[in-house]
Amino acid sequence: MPRRHAAITGCLLAITTLTATALPVAARPLTVGVAATKATTTAVVKPPPGMLAALQRDLHLTAEQAQARLLNETRLAPVEAELRAKLGSRFGGSWFTGTVAQTLVVTTTDPADLPQIIAEGAQGEVVTRSLPDLHRALTVTNSSLSNTGGKVRFIDVKNNRIVVLTSDALATEDEIEASGVSGRVVQAVQSDESPRLLGNLVGGDAYYIGTASRCSVGFSVTKGTQNGFVSAGHCGTQGKATSGFNRVPQGVFQGSTFPEGDFSWVAVNNDWTPKPWVGNGAGDVVNVAGSRAAIEGASVCRSGSTTGWHCGTILQLNTSVVYSQGTVSELTRTNVCAEPGDSGGSFISIEQAQGVTSGGSGNCDSGGTTYFQPLGKILTTYGLTLLTTAPPFATGASTCTGYPRTAEGTLTEGNSTYQPRGRHYRSTVAGVHTGCLNSNDSTDFDLYLQKWTRPRWVTVATSESPNPDESITYTGTTGYYRYRVVASSGSGPYSLGYSTP
């Protein structure tokens, strides 16, 4: 790729830590149908409280567009994960594109992979460098450039390169050239971003370090029998005491990493009960169902004690940010706004925890860019377990497509329900009844078709494999029928597609 000078326009303020301190420290469900291919599904997304309104406000979407975006992200995420695994070392990166994330782009270094990518329902592109190649190039770039040689460095998978955002593109290009890093792989881009740090347990709530500093709770965690939460590393050092939003003694930092990373965890006393929630700034909470990492282009929302609840999209993964205290690598870059005091607060994509707020540019009046520390590294480093609830809907691609009638619900282990809507349907002619049940991969839900045979309901067809998905085909006479869905193992949502004679 030829080197060129490019300018990023717009009024970007300095990247700041979102720590409030004087010291530099750290709806109604929308059903969206899609063509029946191997990678598609028909599903209903019920957005977590406050997320739909925030996406409309921050991404300038209608309610229908916001719901369609969440559905598409949920539908295509398993496709991306499967293709990433199949392509292996040839995988070059992926991203969502389109106003409602209607297209998943997956890149490869081998043109022979394109038919497979297309068959899975994604758009394929061929690139020169694989994602592992780009990761190595970013590592070399970070070690070769000085702290003044560009404040933000990230992998630009869309253009298969490394981008260095710098206030002096010419000088940075000279430094890139002098360091021996290939100018075909690394490009300096003019930018005003200049990083400096931002400074019941519920994600987004305030907590205090000493008398001067305030940060935000990330996510509730446990370590064995010890309760606690994760936050940003620049918020406090190991051994520092914390107090809660109400200034009541809360806990102590057990670990803090900065600037090698920007993460920490705080063990709390028995007066504080961890909850698998993130506050949405409107007096409600969003459930935390897991920690599956979102891909580039996915929608993401942030909760913080200063500015509350704001949403945007993931711009780039694996970004290096040069703060005055040092370079923090492997952050995720977003167009979500944040302000001082939001540091450490929760980033969440639908109901999947993503990470904790590190730093950012701008504010929530004019907009900005914010970085978060991905959660996976925090949990692994400190041996923590994320506190979660049952996920709100199936995360795998549904095999139950093309049915004229659908029903959805959520069940806890050992319970059952009847569909449609707790009632039954009438078949006025003899013929074939078909039903297809889809639930989360971690569950075992079973399906039964029953017919009213006076004076009771009689089961006429059964599907009770040890798998999360079940199907029934039954030829019957006229009469009244209903489906019984049973949660034999595990809890979570399900969707039922069925057809009648």
Q: Report, as residue numbers or ranges, the catalytic residues.
A: 234, 262, 343
Strands of the 405-411 sheet, one edge to the other? 405-411, 492-499, 431-439, 470-476
Length of the chain: 501
Calpha distance 21→342 (Å, rounded):
11
Q: Are strands 241-243 and 416-419 parallel, antiparallel or unpaired?
A: unpaired
**Residue 86 DSSP label:** H
Report the run of H or E that residue 176 belongs to, with start and end: helix 169-179
Number of CB atoms found within 10 A of residue 180's CB: 8
> CA-based Rg of the chain, rounded to a whole angstrom?
25
Q: Are strands 213-216 and 219-223 parallel, antiparallel or unpaired?
A: unpaired
Q: Which structure tokens are listed for 291?
A: 């920690």
Q: Are strands 123-126 and 152-156 parallel, antiparallel or unpaired?
A: unpaired
Calpha distance 460→450 (Å, rounded):
5
Q: Count the helices and strands in the chain (H runs, E runs).
A: 6, 37
Calpha distance 445→411 (Å, rounded):
9
**What's the one-letter identity of residue 7?**
A
Task: Using alpha carbons, select from 87, 154, 98, 82 the residue that is nearest to residue 127.
Answer: 87
Calpha distance 150→325 (Å, rounded):
15
Residue by residue, DSSP assigns 432-461 as EEEEEEEE-TT-EEEEEEEEEETTEEEEEE
101-104's contacts with Cβ under 8 Å and 24+ in sequence apart are: 101/69, 101/72, 101/73, 101/76, 101/297, 101/298, 101/299, 102/68, 102/72, 104/76, 104/79, 104/80
Calpha distance 444→438 (Å, rounded):
10
Burial 61-78 (b: 16+ CB within 10 A, else e): beeebbbbbbbbbbbbbb
